[in-house]
Amino acid sequence: MRVVITGAGPCGAALAVALSRNGTAVALVEAAQDFARNFRGEALMPSGFQALQQLGLAPIPESVPQRALGGWRVAVEGHELFRAAEPLEGPGNLPCTLVSQTAWLESLLAERNRPASLTLHRGRPVADLQRDARGRVCGVVLTDGEHLAADLVVGCDGRSSLLRRKAGIALGAAERPIDVLWFRFAAAAEPLPDQDFTTLVGPEGLASLFTSAEGLVQLGWAISPGSPTPRHTATEWIARLRTQAPQVLASWLQRNGHHLGEPVRFSVQVGLAERWWQPGLLLLGDAAHPMSPVRAQGINMALRDAAVAAQALLELASAGPNSKEAIDQALARIEAARRPEVALLQALQAEELERAERLERTPFLRRLLAGFAPLVGHAAGQVWRLQQKRLRHGISTLNPRQ
Ligand SMILES: Cc1cc2nc3c(=O)[nH]c(=O)nc-3n(C[C@H](O)[C@H](O)[C@H](O)COP(=O)(O)OP(=O)(O)OC[C@H]3O[C@@H](n4cnc5c(N)ncnc54)[C@H](O)[C@@H]3O)c2cc1C
């Protein structure tokens, strides 16, 4: 079976390596020359580690910058409501871990690590799908005009997937996108007071701070979709944030505010493709289901898609030469195995966002929680932990035979 995979993000790269290590001929086509994209999510949950294990890609090499998250903090109007330490399931379990996605992809696809049956086309965007006389997808056309023939084309080309659009597959989109301003502090900033992911809710909105795998402090700030980007200086942004930060963090912000960079705005459309396959074509990862950034699910779901697809396709390949019908039946099985988990986790992400936004919209509730934080914080933390279980572990088995 010849497979063309479009997009070398976590989904496409992991699937390409897993298939080609087992002898399948794979062409992996990536539009960009390198993986240093402006922003790549980097939190891996236990669900993502389970997928890496099944793909044969664990552990992540030590040369790739990575660090375990210390915990999750929520503060309301400057008062800490609760802190949940990682691993949430207790010592000995896998913590949520920040992994430099750029370095991981570079290492995974480095020439010295690449299986012989994997060909990487970097800096060569796919421009179109190729179909045979019966309309079945049978390859891709690159922007430089080259055609790559395939028995199966896999679209792992991210949230704005060209392949999804060329195939005419509609995206059932969430009602409104989530708009986020993303800031980085310069490397010269002091380390944050802790290794946690801290969410601040207050009259200035909803913002989160953490230190990336590579040691840079990052700040995400949710803003109303479609609203103009506020034109603030670094000092003004920091002054706004300090009003709703607990004392230790507020002092850090005061000392390090001058290291804050210009924000980049993301408009994140969440959605679920009406179907994930057509004869000869399979969509996976964000191409099939653009994920919200809430509680770091996108890479994890992309890797879990890759793990299920790799297993189904390798089983097929091991049965000998495959008919087109047999390939397409496998595509239907892959979608059936993955869709329920993705749909549920998108709904849980939306619920988590709605809870945070309700708090943001309701000053009375915020003041109540802030005033009684020492009394209600523990219970609020316990409820939050329970809500996280499926967001950390997923709901489905990756191996349908287990
Ligand atoms: C602000 C923000 C924060 C996030 N934080 C996290 C987080 O902490 N943890 C987490 O799990 N998820 C996070 N996510 C989500 C996560 O980044 C994505 O869900 C994940 O990267 C999806 O992986 P993918 O392989 O499907 O697609 P992508 O990572 O988007 O990769 C797609 C690849 O396809 C390539 N491509 C596109 N078009 C073409 C073409 N025509 N031809 C060839 N190649 C093409 C692109 O260059 C890219 O390399 C976050 C998202 C946002 C927006």
Q: Is the pLDDT assigned to residue 279 strictly greater than 60? A: yes
Q: How confident is the model at residue 35 (pLDDT cuts 50, 70, 90)?
A: confident
Ligand 1 atom nearest the C-alpha of 180 is 1
What is the rounded distance in angstroms from the CA atom of residue 60 to the CA atom of residue 91? 21
Closest atom, ligand 1, to C-alpha of 156:
26
CB-count burial class (<10 Å; 0-12, 13-18, 19+) for 117 = middle
Distance CA 229, CA 171 (A): 27
Q: Are 292 and 346 in contact (CB under 8 A)?
A: yes
- Measure 86 CA to ligand 1 centroid, in angstroms: 25
Under the banding of pLDDT at 50, 70 and 90, the label for residue 129 is very high
Write the single-letter amino acid at 302: A
Strands (E), 86-186: 97-99, 118-122, 126-131, 137-142, 147-149, 152-155, 171-173, 178-184
**pLDDT tens, 335-346?**
999 999 999 999
SS3 of residue 81 by DSSP: strand
Contact between 35 and 179 (Cβ < 8 Å) = no
More confident residue, 399 or 147: 147
What average pLDDT does the chain have?
94
What is the distance in A from the centroid of ligand 1 to the CA of 65? 19
pLDDT of residue 397: 73
- The alpha carbon of 242 and the centre of ligand 1 are apart by a number of angstroms equal to 31
Asked if the model's pLDDT at residue 175 lies above 80, the reply is no
d(CA 148, CA 119): 11
Residue 224: predicted pLDDT? 87
CA gap 402, 399 in Å, rounded: 6
Topology of domain 66-99+176-268+362-396 in CATH is D-Amino Acid Oxidase; Chain A, domain 2 (3.30.9)
- Say whether pLDDT at 401 is over 60: no
Tell me what the mean pLDDT of segment 67-74 comes to: 97
Top mutation candidate among 17, 299, 342 for ligand 1, by most atoms within 8 Å of CB: 299
Residue 400, pLDDT > 90, answer no
User: Which residue in the block uniquely carries the two structure tokens 């779901």?
Assistant: 301
What is the best residue among 129, 286, 292 to mutate for testing ligand 1's pocket, by most ligand atoms within 8 Å of CB? 286
| Cβ neighbour number for residue 48 with a 10 Å cutoff | 28
Q: What are residue 44's DSSP bridge partners?
A: 97
The yes-or-no verdict on residue 195 having pLDDT over 70 is yes
| 280 Cα to the center of ligand 1, angstroms | 23
What's the CA-to-centroid distance between 203 and ligand 1, angstroms?
31
Closest listed residue to residue 146, CA positions, set 117, 116, 114, 123: 123
- Per-residue pLDDT band for 265 (boundaries 50, 70, 90) equals very high
Given this model, what pLDDT does residue 291 score? 94
What would the mean pLDDT of 128-134 be, rounded to a whole number?
A: 97
Using the predicted structure, report yes or no on whether residue 402 has a pLDDT greater than 60: no
Token pair 């993705």 in the structure block, residue: 342
- Of 4, 35, 157, 295, the residue with max ligand 1 atoms within 8 A of its CB, to mutate for a pocket test, comes to 157
Q: Which residues pair with 121 in a beta bridge?
A: 29
The answer, yes or no, to whether residue 287 has pLDDT greater than 70, is yes
Fold of 2-38+100-174+270-354: FAD/NAD(P)-binding domain (3.50.50)
What is the residue with the minimal CA distance to atom 49 of ligand 1? 9
| Separation of CA 52 and ligand 1 centre (Å) | 17
Cis peptide before 340 (omega within 30 of 0): no
Q: Give the ligand 1 atom nearest the CA of 285.
A: 26
pLDDT of residue 321: 77
For the record, the structure tokens of 336 come out as: 């059936």
Mutating to test ligand 1, I would choose from 101, 291, 301, 391 the residue with most ligand atoms within 8 A of its C-beta, which is: 291
DSSP codes of every residue in 190-237: PPPSSSSEEEEEETTEEEEEEE-TTS-EEEEEEE-TTPPPP---HHHH
Angle (CA) 128-130-133 rounded to 5° is 150
User: Distance between CA atoms of 327 and 322, rounded to whole angstroms?
Assistant: 7
Report the C-alpha gap between 32 and 126 in whole angstroms: 11
Model pTM score: 0.94
38, pLDDT greater than 70? no
* CA-to-CA dists, residue 152 to 4, 131, 316, angstroms: 6, 11, 12
Ligand 1 centroid to residue 387 C-alpha, Å = 25
Q: Is the pLDDT of residue 327 over 70?
A: yes
| Cα within 13 Å of Cα(7), Cβ side | 25
Start-to-end CA span in the chain (Å): 26
Summarize the confidence of residues 51-63 as an average pLDDT: 96
Q: What is the percent of the chain with per-residue pLDDT over 70, rounded to a whole number?
A: 98
Residue 326 pLDDT grade (very low, low, confident, very high; cuts 50, 70, 90): very high
The model's pLDDT over 350-371, given as tens digits with 9 standing for 90+, comes to 999 889 889 888 999 999 999 9
Ligand 1 neighbours (beta carbon < 6 A)? 6-12, 29-32, 39-43, 125-126, 156-158, 162, 180, 182, 266, 268, 285-286, 291, 293, 296-300, 302
Give the pLDDT mean for 258-273. Answer: 93
**For the chain, which residues make up each domain, given as ranges?**
2-38+100-174+270-354, 66-99+176-268+362-396
Please give the distance, rounded to the nearest whole angstrom, from the Cα atom of residue 126 to the centre of ligand 1.
16
- Phi and psi at residue 197, to the nearest 5°: -105, 110
> How many angstroms does the Cα of residue 158 sit away from the middle of ligand 1?
5
Domains 2-38+100-174+270-354 and 66-99+176-268+362-396 share a fold: no
Please state, in angstroms and rounded to a whole number, the distance separating the CA atoms of residues 328 and 1: 13
Report the amino acid identity of residue 226.
Answer: G
